[in-house]
Structure 1
Amino acid sequence: MRIPKAAHTAQPWRIHEFTRDFRIEDVWSFRAPGAGPDDFPVMLDALKAAYDTRKEPAATRFLFAVRWKLGALLGWDNPQAGLGRRVVSLRDRLPCDLAQTANDATPCTDPFTEVYQLGNEAARELANKTVHDIMHLGWVPTGDGGYELRMAALVKPNGLFGRLYMAFIAPFRYLIIYPALTRQWERAWQDRTRLLTKAATYGVGNG
């Protein structure tokens, strides 16, 4: 479910210290029935295991196929446009003890790179020719004794081209991508035991 941006800024996240030059693009919440205060690492591992075993709707697969094809044709995803080349990694802004927490995070095969992971929040990033994107995940009490996952997309568009690109893809994010992501992530929590058992057995999500 899409929620106000203030729901992100009101939390005492560490991410605020390092992303003042990023804008908040989207904030979404994801249900986790039965979750407790210490279940954030379990949720993260379930999401990563789900990424490697996901079955996305045809519309989502088509959109990503078009995006990766365009990126290949136009050079959007060349290494020269990524982290350590066009932009400096957010990890370079962190104190050493915080940056080192990324080394303990469970690996994943998705395009994002770990920035840090704490007991109630984590950040991951990617960069290409269009944007430098931070995906922030936080674990928040719901007020009824439960917890939910919140995701904030923090972006720094690459000039006018990046801003136009973000505006162009906005309808696809809200109408197709995020609803599919919500179903996938909430299902990952519900299926966490099966997913994590499978990941441990077959090495899914371990590079």
Structure 2
Amino acid sequence: MKLPTSAHASHPWRIHDLTRDFTVEDVWSFRTPGAGPDDFTLMLAAMRTLGGLARQSLPSRFLFALRWRIGALLGWDKPAAGIGQRVASLRDRLPGDLRSTPPGLDDDRMPLKAVYQLDTEATRELANKTVHTVMHLGWVAGANGDYELRMAVLVKPNGLFGRLYLAAIAPFRYLIVYPALTRQWERAWRERDRAAEHNEL
């Protein structure tokens, strides 16, 4: 479910101090019935096992494949346009206490790379020729008392080209990508026992 930007801005997340030059593009919530305050890492594990790109809907996979193809043809995703080259990583901005914590697990299949992970929030980032994107995941109490996952997408477009790119892909995000992601991540929570068994192997 789409939420107003205030749902992210009003919560005292650590990410706020690191992204004052970013804009909140989207805020989304994902239902996790029966979840408690200590289940954030369980949800992240379920998402890694059952929520990856290969399990997304066919339209979403097509859009991502098309995006990567276009990016390869136009050079949008070259290393020179990425983290550590065109833009500095958010990890360079971390205060000492966050810098000393493990950033979270990275996966070669996942283009967004870990910045930090805490008990109730985790952050990943991606940069290319169009935009520097931050995905923030938070764990909050929902209206019915169960905890739920919140995702905020923060962006810093690369000039006019980046702003036009974000405007062009917005309909696809809202009509295809986010609804499919909602179904996938909420299903990952429901099937979390299978994810836990997989991680123990």
Q: Tell me the TM-score normalized by structure 2.
A: 0.95
Looking at structure 1, the residues matched to 3 and 161 of structure 2 have their Cα atoms a distance apart, in angstroms, of: 27
Partner residue, 1:3: 3
Partner residue, 1:114: 114
**Paired amino acid for 1:34:** G
Q: Which runs of 5+ in 2 are unaligned?
A: none
Partner residue, 2:136: 136
Partner residue, 1:147: 147
Looking at structure 2, the residues matched to 162 and 71 of structure 1 have their Cα atoms a distance apart, in angstroms, of: 13
Partner residue, 1:181: 181
**Paired amino acid for 1:97:** D
Partner residue, 1:74: 74
- SS of the residue corresponding to residue 160 of structure 1 reads helix
Cα distance change, pair 154–17 in 1 and its aligned pair in 2 (3 A): same
**1:100–1:116 contact (8 Å) kept in structure 2:** no
Q: Deviations over 1:99-150 (max 9, x none)?
A: 23234x2333311111111111111101010000000000010143210100
Q: Deviations over 1:140-192 (max 9, x none)?
A: 10143210100000000000000000000000000000000000110111111
**2:51–2:188 contact (8 Å) kept in structure 1:** no
RMSD over aligned Cα atoms: 1.3
**Paired amino acid for 2:96:** C
Q: Does 1:32 align with 2:11?
A: no
Q: Deviations over 1:5-64 (max 9, x none)?
A: 100001010111110100000000000000000001111111111244842222111111
Partner residue, 1:204: none
**1:126–1:134 contact (8 Å) kept in structure 2:** yes
Cα distance change, pair 132–14 in 1 and its aligned pair in 2 (3 A): same
Partner residue, 1:161: 161
Looking at structure 2, the residues matched to 28 and 84 of structure 1 have their Cα atoms a distance apart, in angstroms, of: 28
Looking at structure 2, the residues matched to 33 and 129 of structure 1 have their Cα atoms a distance apart, in angstroms, of: 39
Further displaced range: 135-144 or 152-161: 135-144
Q: Tell me the TM-score normalized by structure 1.
A: 0.92
Looking at structure 2, the residues matched to 143 and 57 of structure 1 have their Cα atoms a distance apart, in angstroms, of: 29
**2:54–2:61 contact (8 Å) kept in structure 1:** no
Looking at structure 2, the residues matched to 89 and 45 of structure 1 have their Cα atoms a distance apart, in angstroms, of: 24
Further displaced range: 47-56 or 135-144: 47-56
Looking at structure 1, the residues matched to 84 and 106 of structure 2 have their Cα atoms a distance apart, in angstroms, of: 19
- SS of the residue corresponding to residue 97 of structure 2 reads helix
Aligned residues: 200
Looking at structure 1, the residues matched to 69 and 142 of structure 2 have their Cα atoms a distance apart, in angstroms, of: 40
Identity of aligned residues (%): 62
Q: Deviations over 1:62-107 (max 9, x none)?
A: 111110000100010100000000000001001132023234x233
Partner residue, 1:45: 45
